[in-house]
Amino acid sequence: MKKNFFIFIIAVLVLGSCSKDFLEPKPTNAVPDDEVFNTVDNVETVMNGTWSYMFEEFFSYAVPGYKSIHLTSDAMGSDIAVTQSYGLRDSYGFTEMVDNTKNRVTAFWTILYKVIDNCNNIIAKIDNATGDDAKKQRIKGQAYALRAHCYLTLASYYQFNRTGTEKAVPIYLEPTTATSVGKPKSTIGDVYKQVIADLEKALPLLKDYQRNPSQKWKIDGNVANGLLARAYLYNHQWTQAITASVAARSGYSLMSGDDYNKGFSDLNNVEWIWGHGQTPNQSNASYNFHFLDVSTPASYYQSFMCDPYFQNFFDSADVRFRLFDWDTLPDQEGYLRYKKFRFRDATALVGDLVLMRSAEMYLIEAEAYTRNGNNGKGAEALNVLRAARNATTYKGGGNLLDTILVERRKELWGEGFALSDIIRTGGTVVRKPFLSYTGEDSIINVRRADGTFLQVAGQGHLTLKQPDGKAFTPYSNYYLFAIPISEVQNNPNLNN
């Protein structure tokens, strides 16, 4: 690990401007450490700047910060039919994320490890800063949790967890310097252990912290428990996942049907536990909506269309079913739109980004109970969510676990879980052509705005097989993200 790759930042610093939620200048390492970390207010500025870098840094229009990892995850799943017009086509086709020379591959790795290094600096140095002890503890807890979040993201995309012994990614727990030596890959089991250890350290440090409701980007006890619930679920620790998921959703009710149809772009949604807010002056991360928003005219890409078969998972009375319609616009004609995401402000092209919801916690609880052999409790948790969506309740029959995994696809569509769920469960991408029973194009009668109907050929998935021409299979290496060529070349210990 040479310094020319790990250009780790000591976050955005404008000393004396710590009252801002986010800091406008780009990250810099120009301020000496003794000044950066000498007061707790300065350390909080480091934390704020680290968060801002994570979400607001553009590597390209196709990589608008951390949430572009979620875009990529969903583009590589089963339920989003990415158009060939703009953006994420190569990820969707499984040719990009296996290529360690690609910009997106390097960007994701850089974002995650830069944030990890900043968290390492905060954890190592905040105890010596002057200032309020309670504030120190809170910031340290947030640093542990954010570091855990980054390692959990790495664990989710860079290796399968079949035995726990598979080599995954390096673990760094101390600040890097010009003389730092690159570390070898740790096992996937050790990465999960580190995630859980960090979150267990974070929770007592955050137990008395009450954040401002308008600052849902700040990590509190609910967020830390939600991350812990994910980590336990992904690491097959079912009992602990149940406890953490219940704690995470405490105080966060499920939204109404009407709220579900408002566009998933407002931090004030009662169900959002964690999210990244946007304003007209701080809106780089809103660029993610240009991919997701397929109904706002000003949305530029509108590339995340829906697999037509996905609609069949929903009851017609389900509030989520209202979001489907067929597109009649040129170049998008015949695609099924799922209008879950829309800019909160269509004029300013601004929208808040969701990171964690209480609905996910019910799904974690349902899955963990079921995998632990308690189908009754699993169905109960599932039906709380289904009742809130006005969907038919589960009354037995079929495979409950499969039902829950499908419910995750329905509920969390577009929120970044598609590929990570396939990787963690040993599942597979499922894509098939949208054809009639005769094997010809399916013809759709589409109602236009003027009330007339138009017959169009329905559009579905354009990539139906792996790049090697074979069918998608469980545990395919095409699902895993590559480690960038710069890290491979500059870290001689990587594969030791």
Using the CB atoms, write b or e for 279-292: b if 16+ within 10 Å.
eeebbebbbbbbbb
Contacts of 277 (CB under 8 A, 6+ apart): 21, 214, 215, 216, 217, 267, 352
Q: Please, how many CA atoms are within 13 Å of residue 123, restricted to the half-sphere of its CB?
A: 23
**Three-class SS state of 83:** coil
Query: What is the structure's pLDDT at 328?
Result: 79
Contacts of 267 (CB under 8 A, 6+ apart): 214, 216, 275, 277, 352
pTM for this model (two decimals):
0.93
Query: What is the structure's pLDDT at 452?
Result: 83
Contacts of 305 (CB under 8 A, 6+ apart): 80, 81, 82, 83, 294, 327, 332, 335, 336, 337, 338, 459
Query: What is the structure's pLDDT at 7?
Result: 37
**Three-class SS state of 435:** strand
The 3-state DSSP composition of the chain as helix, strand, coil percent (nearest 5) reads 45, 10, 50
The conformation of residue 325, written as its DSSP 8-state character, comes to: E
Determine the residue type at 156: S
Which among 294, 290, 288, 289 has a CA at the least distance from the CA of 335?
Answer: 294
Contact between residue 170 and residue 113 where contact means Cβ atoms under 8 Å apart = no
Query: What is the structure's pLDDT at 454?
Result: 82
Question: What token pair was written down for 3?
Answer: 């310094």
* Angle ∠(33,34,35) on CA atoms, nearest 5: 90
Could you list the pLDDT tens digit for every one of the 496 residues in the chain? 333 333 344 444 333 333 333 323 333 334 456 688 999 999 999 999 999 999 999 888 889 999 999 999 999 999 999 997 667 999 999 999 999 999 999 999 999 999 999 999 999 999 999 999 999 999 999 999 999 999 999 999 999 999 999 999 999 999 998 889 999 999 999 999 999 999 999 999 999 999 999 999 999 999 999 999 999 999 999 999 999 999 999 999 999 999 999 999 999 999 999 999 999 999 999 999 999 999 999 999 999 999 999 999 999 999 999 999 998 777 778 899 999 999 999 999 999 999 999 999 999 999 999 999 999 999 999 999 999 999 999 999 889 999 999 999 999 999 999 999 999 999 999 999 999 888 888 998 877 778 888 888 899 999 999 999 999 999 999 999 999 999 999 999 999 8
**Three-class SS state of 279:** strand
Q: What are phi and psi of 175, to 5 degrees?
A: -60, 140
**Three-class SS state of 483:** coil
- Cα 219 to Cα 132, 161, 273, 300: the distances in Å are 18, 27, 9, 32
Which among 220, 218, 244 has a CA at the least distance from the CA of 232?
Answer: 244
Contact between residue 262 and residue 344 where contact means Cβ atoms under 8 Å apart = no
What is d(CA 433, CA 439) in angstroms, rounded to the nearest whole number? 9
Q: Domains of the chain, with CATH numbers?
A: 33-432+464-487 (1.25.40.390)
What is d(CA 51, CA 118) in angstroms, rounded to the nearest whole number? 10
- Cα 429 to Cα 76, 175, 465: the distances in Å are 8, 38, 9
What is d(CA 152, CA 119) in angstroms, rounded to the nearest whole number? 14
Helix (H), strand (E) at residue 239: helix 238-248
Question: What token pair was written down for 91?
Answer: 């990820």
What is d(CA 227, CA 291) in angstroms, rounded to the nearest whole number? 26
Contacts of 208 (CB under 8 A, 6+ apart): 134
How many residues belong to the chain? 496
Query: What is the structure's pLDDT at 207?
Result: 95
Q: What are phi and psi of 187, to 5 degrees?
A: -70, 160
Question: What token pair was written down for 188?
Answer: 């996937």
What is d(CA 387, CA 394) in angstroms, rounded to the nearest whole number? 10
